[in-house]
Amino acid sequence: MTAPYADDEYQDDEPRENPPINVGRLWAGGLATMAVAALAAFVGLLVIRGIFNLDVLTPLGGTVIVDDDAIPYLLGAAGVALLATGMMHLLLLFAPRPIQFFSWIIGLFTAAAVLTPFTTNASFSAQLATASINLLIGLSIASLLGGVAHSATRPRVQLA
């Protein structure tokens, strides 16, 4: 008896192996994503605080534009990108549909990061400003690392 959908990848009886990973490409992309995430936080702080003059919640409780209190925010964005790269690496090694799982995980973490400012006693404008920056950071990490993972698992074409 044949499977109802013969080409459906879920119907295969043979176990599938994940494609080989170009680890250098994956982690180079992860480091570049770290830089983009930190810069997204920086630009978000400049726009929200510098242009719109709104407070932004930072990890140390400051509401500043870009100074010593904002450095943990920038480093936090970079750290999240680094952790996401590590998670992507593990998913590529062991998960059956790694990019799909990554998308869900990073999407839910981004949702949590966007909602968290609204659980504080800060002003609504500060909550909204912080949530906006967190959304920008999460979207940049999700989109960039998804592309990096595709690139790191795609076989390179040798030109003759």
Residue 28 lies in a domain: no
As a whole number, mean pLDDT of residues 100-123 equals 95
More confident residue, 25 or 14: 25
Provide the strand spans (E) within the chain: none
- pTM for the full model? 0.82
Residue 81 lies in a domain: yes
Domain that holds residue 103: 34-153
In the predicted structure, residue 71 carries a pLDDT above the cut 80 = yes
Cα-Cα-Cα-Cα dihedral sign, residues 13, 22, 136, 55: positive
Considering the chain, what percentage of its residues have pLDDT values greater than 90? 64
Which residues touch 20 (CB under 8 Å, ≥6 apart)?
Answer: 153, 155
Residue 4 lies in a domain: no
Q: How far apart are CA 122 and CA 117, in angstroms?
A: 8
Domain count, the chain: 1
Instruction: Kindly report which listed range (13-22, 67-76, 91-100, 109-118) carries the lowest average pLDDT score.
Output: 13-22
Residue 17 lies in a domain: no
Residue 105 lies in a domain: yes
Residue 104 lies in a domain: yes
Give 32-62 pLDDT, tens digit per residue: 999 999 999 999 999 998 899 888 887 665 5
Residue 159 lies in a domain: no
Q: How far apart are CA 120 and CA 127, in angstroms?
A: 8
Task: Centre a 10 Å sphere on the Cβ of residue 62 and count the other Cβ atoms it contains.
Answer: 16
Confidence band of 130 (pLDDT split at 50, 70, 90) = very high
